[in-house]
Structure 1
Amino acid sequence: MDNISRRSFLMFATGAISAPHALPPWPEIAEVPRLLDHILLGSNDLDRGIAFVEEHTRVRAAFGGVHPGRGTENALLSLGERRYLEIIAPDPKQAGVEQYPVITKLAEPRLIGWAAHRDDLDEFAEQLRKQGIEFEGPQAGSRQRPDGKLLRWRALRLKDDHGGLLPFFIEWSRDSVHPSVDAPKGCTLTRFEAATPQREDLLHAIPRVQLDLHVQTFDHPSLRATVSSPMGQFSVAS
C-alpha cells in the first residue's frame, strides 16, 4: 500500500473483526490510550462494513455523512465517552474522485488506523517543532451530518507514524458535537494495543508525541482493539 495515500486518507477522512493475521494473546493489563478519539474500520463497501459490525455486536452503526472531494463516506458507533468507531468506505457517488487503495483493495473490513484528540493543536504543533518532529498540518476538514449540521475539525499527521501505529491528531471545532455523543451506543472500547518488530523504537517515539500506548513485539506492525458489546468481547485488528 502506498504510504502517502494511506496517510492522506487518514488525514482527511476524519477496525476488522478477527484479524487477517493471527496475533498472539496479549496481556489483559493493557489500557486504552488516554487521548484516543476514534478507531477507523476500513471497508470496500459501507453497507458491508455496517453489517459486519452489527453481526458481531448487535449494534447497528448510523450513517455519518460523506467527505466531499475525498471520495469517502462513513458510519459511526459510540465506544464510550469521547470515543467511537468510524466505518469508512468509498462513496459511490464520488466515482470521479481518487479512491484510496487502503480501503478499495480490502478483501474484508479491517482496522486501518486511529486518531488521538487534542484541544490545543497549534500549541502541540509548536511542541513537535521544538523536538524536531516533522508533521503535516494542522489542516481543516468537515462533513455535513444527515441532519444538515456541519461537523468541523482540524487534523495533524506525523510524517513518521511508524507504519500507521501512531495516530493522526484531531481537534474538533467548539461548535461541533463530538460524534460519540449521538452515535449508536452499546459498545465500549476496553483495550487498544500495538505490536511491531521495532518495539523499542516505538516505545521511544510514544512519549515524544505525548501518548500512552501498550506495545508488544510481533513480526509485523499491527494494531489491535478489544470491544465489549451486547454479544460479549471481540477483537478488532489490522
Structure 2
Amino acid sequence: MARIDHLVWAAPNLERAIEDLAERTGALAQPGGAHPGNGTRNAILGLGTRTYLEVLAPDPAQAPLAAPAGLSALKAPRLHTFAVAAERLDRIAAQLEKAGLPHPGVIPMSRRLPSGRLVRWRLLTPAGHPYGQVVPFFIDWGDSPHPADQTSEAGEACRLEGLTVTHPEAWSLRALLERLEVEVEVETGPPALNARLSTPRGEVAIGSA
C-alpha cells in the first residue's frame, strides 16, 4: 500500500502556527522555505521516517494575491489535505484515468531551503471527484532530499499514529482510495480529516474542523 508522505496543516500566519504547534506537541517545526509564484512558505515537523507535517501559510514576501484565498481567510490552523508518496506518477495517472477521474497532469515544483539548496519534486492531483480535500494528492521527490530527513531531533520525537477520513459517501470514497492503494481509515460523517500524533506531550489530535 502507498505510504503517507505528509499532512498539510494550513494556517493564516506561519510564525503563530509554529508557536501553536509547539505548545500542543512540545516539538518545534523547522523552517522549510518559500514556494515562488505560489504565494506560500512552510515549516516542517518530522513525523517519522519519510513522513512529516507541513505547516503551510501565505508568504508576506510574495504578492498578496499569489497565495490561495483560503489560506488568508482561515481564522486558525487546520488540517487541509494530505500527500501520498509515489515513485511512478505515470502509473497513478493511468489509474485515475481508468477510474474516470481527470487530472491536470504531473506538475513540477521547487523551493529553496534556508541553506540555499534547491529542492525539486513532482505532484499529481486527482480532479473531477466529489470528495474535495479528503482525497490526497501524490508526490515524487525524485533525487531531492526528503523534508523529513532535514528536521531536528525535536521534530523526530513526533510520530503519525493514524489518519481518519470521513465523508457522507464513505462507501464510494473507500473504494476509490483502495483502488489507488491509499490505506487510511474511512468513516461516514461530514467531510473531514483527523490525524493522531504521538508527541513529547502525549497523543495530540489535529483535524480539519
| TM class by smaller structure | over 0.9
The question of whether the paired residues in 2 share the 8 Å contact of 1:198 and 1:217 is answered with yes
Task: Letter of the 1:191 partner, please give it.
Answer: G
SS at match of 2:174: helix
Q: How many residues align?
A: 204
Task: Letter of the 1:165 partner, please give it.
Answer: V
Structure 2 length as normaliser, TM-score?
A: 0.93
Q: 1:161 Cα deviation (Å)?
A: 6.3
Q: What is the match of residue 133 of structure 2?
A: 164
Task: Letter of the 1:234 partner, please give it.
Answer: V
SS at match of 1:94: coil
The question of whether the paired residues in 2 share the 8 Å contact of 1:69 and 1:97 is answered with no
Distance 2:161 2:169 in 1: 25
Once the two structures are superposed, the pairs formed by residues 154-233 of structure 1 within 5 Å of their partners are 154-159=122-127, 160=129, 162-174=131-143, 176-184=144-152, 185-218=156-189, 220-233=190-203
Task: Letter of the 1:212 partner, please give it.
Answer: E
Q: What is the identity percentage for the equivalent residue pairs of Structure 1 and Structure 2?
A: 37
Q: Are positions 1:120 and 2:88 aligned together?
A: yes
Structure 1 length as normaliser, TM-score?
A: 0.82
Q: Are positions 1:100 and 2:71 aligned together?
A: no
**Which residues of structure 1 form unaligned runs of 5+?**
1-32
Give structure 1 regions of 4+ aligned residues with deviation exceeding 4 angstroms. none
Q: What is the match of residue 76 of structure 1?
A: 44
Q: What is the match of residue 54 of structure 1?
A: 22
Distance 1:39 1:48 in 2: 18
Q: Deviations over 1:102-129 (max 9, x none)?
A: 2111111110110001011122222333
Coordinate RMSD, CA, aligned: 1.4
**Which residues of structure 2 form unaligned runs of 5+?**
none
Q: 1:141 Cα deviation (Å)?
A: 0.3
Q: 1:84 and 1:196, CA in 2 relative to 1: closer, same or farther beyond 3 A?
A: same
